[in-house]
């Protein structure tokens, strides 16, 4: 809206040379180092803090989380705010690498990201998922698209294949959830809520 849909190309040389194409630690790209830092911090935040525990707990059943004493609305605001912050950081890194805002160049990125995250084990219905699994899953659509470019397949077929992979991943996710319900196993959300309520009862003074 601010630029009228026109890509900006007047990028500071320091940003491009130092971040976009700069190296550190024996010729390791800065972009790789920053990405690894974000991934490690994300894993710690999601799996080793109360914030991550609460996020999992309200993932598939916000009402159960609310009845367990969680501030569901505040947690969702925090999650979306963190998501927006990381999206802005990713856009800044993209700007440093491509030296342009590439407004139209990211039109299909969301489909690839969703497909990769679902392939990595994250459920679209909430309650399941991990950052490491998402990282591994993202390599599949990226590899498919790069392979199509190498062998000369038309770009629109790339979107078709990624969409098909996404549909297959969602189907597998639904079958997995149905099998868990038929088997009577407790979901990840149920386990987390049980752990959360148990810890609240065990340490009332901290609350």
Kindly report the pTM of this predicted structure: 0.72
Q: 99 in helix, strand or coil?
A: coil
pLDDT for 133 beyond 90? no
pLDDT for 154 beyond 70? yes
pLDDT 10s digits, 19-77: 878 888 778 888 888 989 999 999 999 888 999 888 888 887 788 888 888 899 999 99
Are 144 and 158 contacting, i.e. CB atoms less than 8 angstroms apart? yes
Q: Residue 36, CB half-sphere, CA atoms under 13 Å: how many?
A: 6
**23 - beta bridge partners?**
29
Name the nearest CA neighbour of 96 among 13, 36, 28.
13
């Amino acid at each position: 809206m601010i630029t009228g849909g026109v890509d900006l190309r007047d990028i500071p040389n320091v940003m491009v040379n130092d971040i976009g194409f700069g190296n550190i630690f024996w010729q390791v790209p800065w972009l790789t180092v920053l990405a690894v830092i974000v991934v490690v911090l994300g894993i710690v935040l999601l799996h080793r803090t109360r914030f991550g525990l609460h996020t999992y707990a309200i993932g598939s059943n916000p009402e159960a989380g609310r009845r367990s004493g969680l501030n569901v609305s505040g947690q969702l605001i925090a999650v979306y705010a963190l998501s927006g912050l990381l999206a802005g950081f990713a856009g800044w890194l993209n700007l440093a690498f491509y030296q342009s805002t590439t407004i139209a160049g990211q039109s299909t990125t969301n489909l690839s990201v969703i497909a990769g995250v679902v392939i990595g084990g994250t459920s679209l219905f909430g309650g399941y998922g991990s950052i490491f699994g998402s990282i591994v899953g993202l390599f599949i659509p990226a590899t498919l698209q790069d392979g199509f470019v190498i062998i000369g397949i038309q770009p629109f077929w790339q979107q078709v294949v990624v969409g098909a992979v996404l549909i297959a991943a969602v189907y597998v996710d639904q079958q997995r959830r149905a099998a868990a319900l038929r088997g009577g196993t407790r979901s990840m959300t149920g386990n987390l809520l049980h752990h959360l309520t148990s810890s609240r009862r065990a340490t009332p003074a901290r609350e």
